[in-house]
């Protein structure tokens, strides 16, 4: 019997090693897999490369991972925010390397990795400092920049519901990077509010088919959602 559910958060992240590349879902705190990140911090591994839209908000999630000193490099689109003080300090001290990627290119490069493409030509960034030194091509009178796929050893994402096959349903704008990160990582681990019996998710509403998900772990908690909001 296929059962991708894990009994604990610790078990779900037990093979993330020093130096791993890890995608972390979320836009701000919506969709951020905070419980999985806490479990990763507890594991004690470091020297990680993190791919995520932001570089942490306040004290939670990616911010906590940065504070704990576990990150070597961040690939993201929007690191600097009013509450990104942990990132700001480690970036200024040179402890964390930053690869800044326009948000749409970040999504497209992650999607390209998941779809098995060798590269993409994107118009975004053409003629700007973020495309310096990159190959360009003019196609149908428009200029494009060659960008490479972004893949990862692991993806940590947050969804609303899962079944034991790993099918996922998300909640509102917490979906954001979840579906594409799930496709781009060798091992995708989803934190969900509940794991429901196989067959109880309407197949027409499955957003991420289970083939892209290797582990799911339930954290309960509609109440956590409001606590997370209250932290802002």
Partner 1 sequence: MMRLDHDAMARRVAQDIPEGAYVNLGIGLPTKVADHLPVDREVILQSENGLLGMGPAPARGEEDWDLINAGKQAVTLMAGGSFFHHADSFAMMRGGHIDICVLGAFQVSVHGDLANWHTGAPGAIPAVGGAMDLALGAKRTFVMMELLTRDGRSKLVERCDYPLTGLGCVSRVYTDYGVFDVSRNGLAVVEMIEGLTLDRLQELTGLVLKP
Q: Which residues bind partner 1 (CB under 8 A)?
A: 27-31, 53, 57, 77-81, 88, 91-92, 98, 100-108, 110-111, 122-130, 143, 170-180, 207, 225-226, 228-229, 232
Contact indicator for 14, 7 with CB cutoff of 8 Å: no
Give min distance, CB of 142 to partner 1, in A: 9
* Terminal Cα distance for the chain, rounded: 42
**Which element (helix H / strand E) includes 76?**
strand 71-76
Q: CB burial class (10 A; 0-12, 13-18, 19+) of residue 226?
A: exposed
CB atoms within 10 A of CB 23: 27
CA distance 213 to 80: 31
Q: Which is nearer to partner 1, 6 or 175 (CB)?
A: 175
Give min distance, CB of 187 to partner 1, in A: 20
Q: Which is nearer to partner 1, 70 or 175 (CB)?
A: 175
Give min distance, CB of 18 to partner 1, in A: 27
Q: Which is nearer to partner 1, 31 or 33 (CB)?
A: 31
Q: Which is nearer to partner 1, 69 or 127 (CB)?
A: 127
């Amino acid at each position: 019997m296929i059962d991708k559910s894990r009994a604990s958060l610790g078990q779900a992240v037990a093979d993330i090693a020093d130096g791993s590349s890890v995608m972390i879902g979320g836009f701000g705190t919506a969709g951020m897999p905070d419980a999985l990140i806490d479990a990763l911090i507890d594991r004690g591994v470091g020297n990680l490369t993190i791919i995520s839209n932001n570089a942490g908000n306040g004290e939670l999630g990616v911010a906590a991972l940065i504070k704990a000193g576990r990150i070597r490099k961040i690939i993201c689109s929007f690191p600097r925010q009013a509450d990104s003080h942990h990132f700001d300090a480690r970036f200024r001290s040179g402890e964390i390397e930053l690869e800044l990627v326009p948000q749409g290119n970040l999504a497209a490069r992650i999607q390209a990795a998941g779809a098995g493409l060798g590269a993409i030509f994107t118009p975004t960034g053409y003629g700007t400092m973020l495309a310096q030194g990159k190959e360009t091509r003019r196609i149908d009178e428009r200029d494009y920049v060659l960008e490479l796929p972004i893949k990862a050893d692991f993806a940590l994402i947050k969804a609303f519901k899962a079944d034991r096959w790993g099918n996922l349903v998300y909640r509102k704008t917490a979906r954001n990077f979840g579906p594409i990160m799930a496709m781009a990582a060798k091992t995708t681990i989803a934190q969900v509010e509940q794991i429901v019996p196989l067959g109880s998710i309407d197949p027409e509403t499955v957003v991420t088919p289970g083939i892209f998900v290797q582990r799911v772990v339930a954290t309960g908690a509609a109440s956590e959602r409001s606590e997370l909001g209250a932290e802002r």
